[in-house]
Structure 1
């Protein structure tokens, strides 16, 4: 089994990632934020955006590009209708959908260019305004087939188009845990997560909210299937205890089933977790007559969780408007 701490050369994964980051950033003009640098800080606009390429997870072949939006000092964030002071170590992870990429790359692709308003950088800024006291982590899909089909192969077994094959032991949660720890270290954040296998306790005040949009929801679904085993894993159980909220935003993928988790045993474990669950949808996904299973699965997901006593909030956005891909994206602003 490959060790998280070493690669074949004997160098640490973090050392390799730092070297790759430095090399990648050396050819970029300074100060560019939108479109974003390959690596770099937006120096004139707090909070900052920092792009981290090829951040390692817990295995050598699992790497993802990250974009970090750092919070303003002393800010306050809104959570539903309440406001509370940030702890300074509150984090949000966001998994984008199809066609969403770094602004610079979207501008070069004819199919993606019209949707640059929803680039990774733009979404980071949107979420940064919504949660100003949080560190916002945008996780880029490891593969973009034909520059538009996001594939989260590092988190869940998937085909080229990103349709998932869920299992209980793929390691998606372990990859997220390692990815965040390495990202925090590369970004030089205070109190980063300790490495997997370390006896060091979690940093004080660490909390995590996971938000997934469209195709990105396959990652959240995979995490649900992994919950039972993860809760008994001494390396993952403390991490799960820090997850406060999980948001599904208009989930969808090209497969013919499992757009939403409907397995009652898996959902029972999710309900028992005590995590606040949020399901936000639009007619684009749940009222498409050509993909009726999406709406049916969404109903089973929410009804089952309600029956199990889960802490669940749900909303159908743009209910009185025609289904459109524009409103599908707008849910990122409206949830």
Structure 2
């Protein structure tokens, strides 16, 4: 049964790649324009064997006048990476097709989002991290990154291990995928192992996925005291919050001034893209208040910061909530 599922998963990825190639304009080394280099990695461990995540990788490719070539030497040597944390309902295409509540949103499957991000960040390796749990096949729970209930509402703390898990998960994923210059394993000592030359990281969270970014912010002070983790955090160039939201009644956005002070002083470029679906909902007024507090505090701290309210003149809708993935 396991082998049958593996074959079905591979066929599903190939079909999606073929269908989306014309729209995405992507290809990978040694492939045709009809086959972007998507690869699904299952049960990749993080910094301990009890924390595992499925990961989807889209290798970098370059877009030309409607045709694809092999990667240039620069892209082959490139070590730029984008990590994306999706929201509720988003799953692998094959699994979404089996759930009636998910099928209307299959345009936002993990595979399709990877292809969208490949166009948004050309020349980068795109890593889509599937939530470790999907309660009722709908509610993403990032328990490996932040303490959460069944519905994925977080309970943030300064030392849960999100930074360490991300560092190890990304390193193991790079090794599993056979990348030529992967992150080295954590040594567990105060003598950091140098990162690969040119390694840069961009972290993007959408909707529920923003809880991981929030947890990273809460951990910054402690993680930066560790030489290995500080080296990893210094490689983060940008963090994108895309219409963050979760079912809890608070902490949708980080408002703690000490935590935001650590973020502002890190030098990371911070981007907040929202829609009326999250920040203008009168039934969840705290989301908008926290978003405004997040913005004002970072501005007061002199952070490298940008923000945008998308679809401001359109009615709030879940469709536009998802569309921010294309528009940011």
- Is the TM-score greater than 0.5? yes
Which residue is 1:121 aligned to? 111
The Cα shift of 1:201 comes to: 1.5
For the residues of structure 2 that align with 1:290 and 1:217, how far apart are their CA atoms? 20
1:62 aligns with 2:55: no
1:50 aligns with 2:39: yes
The Cα shift of 1:47 comes to: 3.6
Relative to 1, partners in 2 of residues 1:196 and 1:327: Cα closer, same or farther, differing over 3 Å? same
> C-alpha offsets along residues 245-272 of structure 1, whole Å, 9 cap, x if unaligned?
0000000000000000000000001000
Do the aligned residues in 2 keep the contact of 1:52 with 1:66 (CA within 8 Å)? yes
The Cα shift of 1:234 comes to: 1.6
Do the aligned residues in 2 keep the contact of 1:46 with 1:72 (CA within 8 Å)? no
Which residue is 2:263 aligned to? 270
The Cα shift of 1:197 comes to: 0.7
Number of equivalenced pairs: 302
> C-alpha offsets along residues 192-242 of structure 1, whole Å, 9 cap, x if unaligned?
000011753110000000000000000000000000011110220100010
Relative to 1, partners in 2 of residues 1:158 and 1:70: Cα closer, same or farther, differing over 3 Å? same
1:91 aligns with 2:84: no
Q: Matched residue of 2:228: which SS?
A: coil
Which residue is 1:12 aligned to? none
Q: Matched residue of 1:235: which SS?
A: helix
Residue of structure 2 aligned with 1:33, choices 14, 37, 59: 14
Relative to 1, partners in 2 of residues 1:252 and 1:311: Cα closer, same or farther, differing over 3 Å? same
The Cα shift of 1:89 comes to: 0.4
Do the aligned residues in 2 keep the contact of 1:181 with 1:195 (CA within 8 Å)? yes
Q: Matched residue of 1:33: which SS?
A: helix
Q: Matched residue of 2:264: which SS?
A: helix
For the residues of structure 1 that align with 2:63 and 2:91, how far apart are their CA atoms? 30
Q: Matched residue of 2:227: which SS?
A: coil
Residue of structure 2 aligned with 1:223, choices 212, 216, 220: 216
For the residues of structure 2 that align with 1:64 and 1:126, how far apart are their CA atoms? 21
Task: Show structure 1 runs of 5+ residues with no match.
Answer: 1-20, 76-84
Do the aligned residues in 2 keep the contact of 1:56 with 1:64 (CA within 8 Å)? yes
Task: Please identify which structure carries the higher helix content.
Answer: 2
Which residue is 2:22 aligned to? none
* TM-score, structure 1 as length reference: 0.86
For the residues of structure 1 that align with 2:135 and 2:149, how far apart are their CA atoms? 10
For the residues of structure 2 that align with 1:29 and 1:94, how far apart are their CA atoms? 21
* TM-score, structure 2 as length reference: 0.87
Relative to 1, partners in 2 of residues 1:104 and 1:175: Cα closer, same or farther, differing over 3 Å? same
Residue of structure 1 aligned with 2:60, choices 71, 85, 91: 71
Relative to 1, partners in 2 of residues 1:202 and 1:313: Cα closer, same or farther, differing over 3 Å? same
Q: Matched residue of 2:292: which SS?
A: helix
Do the aligned residues in 1 keep the contact of 2:9 with 2:94 (CA within 8 Å)? no
For the residues of structure 2 that align with 1:23 and 1:309, how far apart are their CA atoms? 54
Task: Show structure 2 runs of 5+ residues with no match.
Answer: 18-27, 65-73
